[in-house]
A and B are shown apart, each in its own frame.
Chain A
Amino acid sequence: MTAAAAPALRVRGLKKSFKDLQVLRGVDFEVARGGIFALLGSNGAGKTTVVRILSTLLAADAGTAEVTGIDVRTRAAEARAAISLTGQFAAVDEILTGRENLLLVAKLRHVDDPGAIADGLLDRFSLSAAAGRRVATYSGGMRRRLDIAMSLIGEPSVVFLDEPTTGLDPESRLEVWSSIRALAAQGTTVLLTTQYLEEAEQLADRIAILHEGRIIVDGTLAELKRLLPPAKVEYIEKQPTLEDVFFAIVGTRHDAAATNEGDAREGGRR
C-alpha cells in the first residue's frame, strides 16, 4: 500500500505489559485521514500507553502500529516527521516566552522562516498579546493553546492530543475545543484521548472506547447510540445545568478568539 492511500492510523493487535500488569491486550483500530477520532476510556484504561506507542516513545510487546502507512517501530524517524504529540501535561518551556517556544519548535522542525510561522500561530491562537511574556505567567488554557500551536508547526499529518482539557476550567476547556476544531478544519487528523464523554460527543467524528486493554466499540456517535434500545419520548422539565449557571454568572461564553489575553488567570496544573 502506498503512503498516500494508507489510513492516518492503523493499529493491529497491540499489546503492552508493565511488569505483571497487562495494560493493552490486543488493540485494533483504524483511523481514516482527516477528522477527529476520540479514544475514550477511564483512568488507567491504557489511552496514554496507546499514544506513547504511536508517538514512538514506547515499544509495544506485540502488534503493529502505522502512521500514514509508516511503521512506528521500524521507521521511527519517518513516523516522527508525520506526527506531533501534545502530551498529558502541557509540554511548554516555562522559562521561555510564548513566541520563543514556537520559535524553538519551528527551528527543530527545520521550517522556512520560523519567525513568520510563530507570529502566524500566535495570532491564530489568540496569544499575540502574551507573546513576549514568559509562559510561567500563562493561565492553564493559554498554556494548552500554546501547546497545541506548537504541535502544528511543520504541518504534521496526525496530531495526538492526550487528555487536552484535563484540569482546565470550563472557559479554558471551550477555548481548547475551538482550537481543536480549527485544527481538524485544516485537514489534520486528530487523535484525541479523553475521559470526558461530553468532550468526545462534542468534538469527535468517530469514537472508540478502550476498556480493559481492548477496543470494545468503534464507530460514529450515531452508530454508538444505535447500540442502545431506541429512545423513549419523555417530557421533563429543563433545569439549567451548573455550567449554564456558571456562564450566566461569570459572563458570556466566548470562544478562544474573543478571550482577553491580558487577564492572566491563576493558571497551570503544575
Chain B
Amino acid sequence: MSIHFIGDTAVLTGRSLRHISRSLDTIVTTAVMPIGFLLLFVFVFGSAIDTGSASGSYVDYLLPGILLITIATGISYTAYRLFQDLQGGIFERFSSMPIARSSVLWAHVLTSLVANLISVAVVVLVALLIGFRSGAGVLAWLAVVGILLLFTLALTWIAVIAGLSAKSVDGASSFSYPLIFLPFISSAFVPTAGMPGPVRVFAENQPVTSIVNAIRSLLAQQPVGADIWVALAWCVGILVVAYVFAMIAYRKRIA
C-alpha cells in the first residue's frame, strides 16, 4: 500500500463529498421515504400496534428500525455514484494514475458514511419534532452512532459490489430494495412475539432484529443483553463477506 494512501483517499473523498454538497437532493430523497414511514406508522398504524412496552411512545419504539431503513436507502446512492464513475471513464483515469488504487473505493465508502450520517441526523430531527424522546447519556448515544456507522460500513461494501458489477444504472441502485424491506419482517415495527411460526423464526434470526433491539435498549436506557453482541457479529460478518466479494468484483473490472 502506497504511502500516499491517506492523502489520496482524502483528496478523492473531498471530490465525492463535493458531489453530495452539489446535489443535496440525494440526502433529501434518502430521508424522504423513511420519514414517510415514520409519519405513517406513528400517526396512522401506531395506535393499533401494541408494542408491549410499559413506557415510551410508539415513535421511541419505531425510530431504530426507521434509521436502518434510512441507511439501506442511502447506500444505493453509493452504488449509483460508483457506477457513474465507471461509466464515465474517470475510474479508469484514477486507476492508471500513480495513486493508491484502493483509495478510489475507500473514498466512496467514506463519503457513504458521511452522507448517511447526515441523512440519519435529518430523520432523528424529524422524530424529535413528532415526540421522540430519549434520556440516554452521551456514551449510549455514541454506542448508537457506532452501531449505525458499522451497519453503514457493512451495507456500503454491499453497495460497492453492486456498483462495480452492475450493467445499468437501475441495476446499480435497485439491489437495495430487499435491504429496505428487511426491517418490516423484524422487531422494527411490531414485536416478533405475535408473528406466526416460520415468519417469527426468520424475524428473530435475521440481522435487523438484533441491531434494532440493541439500539432501542441503548436509547431507552435498558440493559442491551446479548442483542448487542449478536448485532455486532452480524455487522462485522456482513462487512467481511461483502468486502471480500467487493475486492473480487474490483479485480474483475481492473487488472
Contact = CB atoms under 8 A, between A and B. Distances in A.
A78 B96 CA distance: 11
Main secondary structure of the interface of A (DSSP, over half): loop
B255 interface: yes
B23 interface: yes
Nearest to B21: A95
B101 to A, nearest CB: 9
B213 to A, nearest CB: 40
A93 B255 CA distance: 23
Interface in B1-55: 2, 4, 7-8, 11-12, 15, 18-19, 22-23
Interface residues of A, number: 34
A87 B99 CA distance: 18
Contacts of B255: 56-59
A57 B89 contact: no
Q: Which of B2, B23, B254 has the most CB of A within 10 A?
A: B254
Nearest to B20: A95
Contacts of B18: 95-96, 100
A105 B18 CA distance: 15
Nearest to B84: A94
A85 interface: yes
A91 B99 CA distance: 16
A95 B90 contact: no
Interface in B69-121: 87-90, 92-99
A104 B11 contact: yes
Given A56-B255, A95-B23, A104-B11, A81 B98 contact: yes
Interface in A44-77: 52, 55-59, 77
Contacts of B97: 80, 84, 105, 108-109
B96 A95 contact: no
Contacts of B96: 55-57, 80, 83-85
